[in-house]
Amino acid sequence: MAVMGWRGAVAALVTFSALSWGLMQAGCGDDNSASGFVPQTDDGGDGGLVIGDETQFTNGDGNNTPLTSISIVPANPVVTVSIDDGVVTTVPLTFTALGNNGASVAASFSLDRGELGNLDPATGIFTASGNVSGTGNVTAAFGGLTATTTVTVQISISQNGAPVLDGGAPDAGNNLGGNNGVGGNDYGTPVDGPTKALLLGPATKPSSPAELGFLYPYNSTVWPQGVLAPLLQWQTTHASATKYVRIHLQQKLFSFDGFYSAPMYVNHPVDQLGWKKALLGNTGDPLHVDMYISDGTTVWGPISEDWSVAPGLLQGTVYYNSYNSRLTSSANGAVLGIQPGSYAPSIAIPGTETSCHVCHEVSSDGSTLITEDSTYSNGASYDLTKKGALIASYTGNAPDGTSNNRKFLWSGMYPDGTFALSNSRHARER
């Protein structure tokens, strides 16, 4: 019995010594106090670390403060991206995870909107991409604990003259399938410093829309995402004196200023790259546009509109008339179409660009298009589900003896395109 008691005493002594050494290493050593949070043994008496939700950590400062929560600093920051003539400037932001006693922890970081920029998981350094504005959620994870905050990216763009494409050449409009695909002027050329300052300064408000007023687009227009930038069109009594144009776009997290030398312009395209960033970064607030013109001494404007942005891509193809489009072989009128997700229009029916084909109608299911030629006396129907394959030509007389002359000019198409209702007196004339 005496031997067994001695052995039990030794075992108890060994267990106590090992546990004491572990506690000294975990919470009391000066060498560990500089290393941040360190593991602490559990209360279960088995000398092992508890893994999972029950894990506790101390700060290593001798206070043995348990780690029960973490937070992220800075909280809800706003990052500004400046883009001047294509050059992106932004300052990286570093997120830090702190324990409930204020000491930093080596958390892993993540961002739920990668299009806003890059967030390094290990260092917490966030660098905005400048591709889109908006707000994303940042998460820090450490030892089974998590914390969240937001990061908001706002974009400010200043563009002098035509935007520069990746290849280094100024965009001439039609390179993106833009304004030259639908008519209108190219981008104006850059302005000098004094003129830019003039366009940013005080302006004379026009007395009436006749003196200076928008013709297109219309106020309160709703734009879906992923569409071609509009061609601003206006009327003015100062057309012959116009030398410069400024276009300003503004919404909650985005602003754009374009400056152009544009002599006698009465239309100008909105910068396509800026337009894309505006639409993709819209948060439901109005997209506001201001337009100014100047003769080099006086600035007139602004004329203004507010547009809405639908939070989604247009699903169907848009077909529309275009006159003097450079997509046609000899500046003829044509029916153009913009496919879903495309920034460039194209000829709706290949082969019709060699002569004027403008007046048209399309069935609501998008399967059938009817168009007339320049004489209005001849027309044809096309199958849009088969790349515009010819269905039938309408010339001369129909099999029932009736004339095909203008037969389907501005007719009412049945939704599936199987037939059309037309006016015997011709809708255009009556």
Residue 265 lies in a domain: yes
pLDDT in tens, 223-241: 998 888 899 999 999 999 9
Domain for residue 342, yes or no?
yes
Q: How far apart are CA 414 and CA 418, in angstroms?
A: 6
- Residue 110 belongs to some domain of the structure: yes
* Residue 165 and residue 293 in one domain: yes
Looking up tokens 């997209």 gives 287
Strands (E), 207-279: 212-216, 222-225, 231-236, 244-251, 254-261, 267-269
Segment 43-49 long-range contacts (CB within 8 Å, at least 24 positions apart): 47/15, 47/18, 47/19, 47/22
Considering 313, 328, 360, which residue would you say is the last residue of a domain?
A: 313
Q: What is the arithmetic mean of pLDDT over 90-109?
A: 96
In a domain? residue 2? no
Q: Which of 288, 313, 338 is the last residue of a domain?
A: 313
The more confident residue out of 249 and 356 is: 249
The CATH number for 88's domain is 2.60.40.10
Do 278 and 386 lie in a common domain? Answer: no
Give yes or no: residues 182 and 291 share one domain: yes
Shared domain for 210 and 242, answered yes or no, is yes
Q: Are residues 44 and 83 in the same domain?
A: no
298 and 276 in one domain?
yes
In-domain check, residue 428: no
The residue ranking higher by pLDDT, 168 or 266, is 266
Mean pLDDT computed over 14-41: 39
Structure tokens at 310: 């639908």
How confident is the model over 193-207, as pLDDT tens digits? 999 999 999 999 999
Q: Which domain holds residue 413?
A: 318-421
**Residue range 15-20: mean pLDDT, rounded:** 36
Q: 381 and 394, same structural domain? A: yes
- Structural domain includes residue 331: yes
* pLDDT one-digit tens code per residue, 61-87: 456 678 999 999 999 999 999 999 999
pLDDT given for residue 332 in this prediction: 74
246 within some domain:
yes
pTM equals: 0.74
Claim to verify: residue 216 and residue 201 sit in the same structural domain: yes
Number of domains observed in the structure of the chain = 4
Instruction: Write the pLDDT tens digit of every residue in 240-259.
Output: 999 999 999 999 999 999 99
**Whether residue 304 is found in the same domain as residue 201:** yes
Question: Do residues 207 and 340 both lie within one domain?
Answer: no
- Over 60: is that where the pLDDT of 10 sits? no
Query: Is the same domain home to 172 and 52?
Result: no
Average confidence (pLDDT) over 285-291: 98
The pLDDT score that the predictor gives to residue 177 is 43
Q: Are residues 309 and 325 in the same domain?
A: no
How many CB atoms lie under 10 A from the CB of residue 406?
Answer: 24
The CATH number of the domain where 259 resides is what?
A: 2.60.40.2470
Taking phi over 0 as left and psi of -120 to 50 as alpha, with beta for the rest, 6 belongs to: alpha
Q: What pLDDT was estimated at residue 181? A: 55
Section 398-426 average pLDDT:
84
DSSP H/E element including 305: strand 299-313
Mean pLDDT, the chain, rounded, equals: 82
Residue 102 belongs to a domain: yes
User: Domain boundary residue among 41, 67, 93?
Assistant: 67
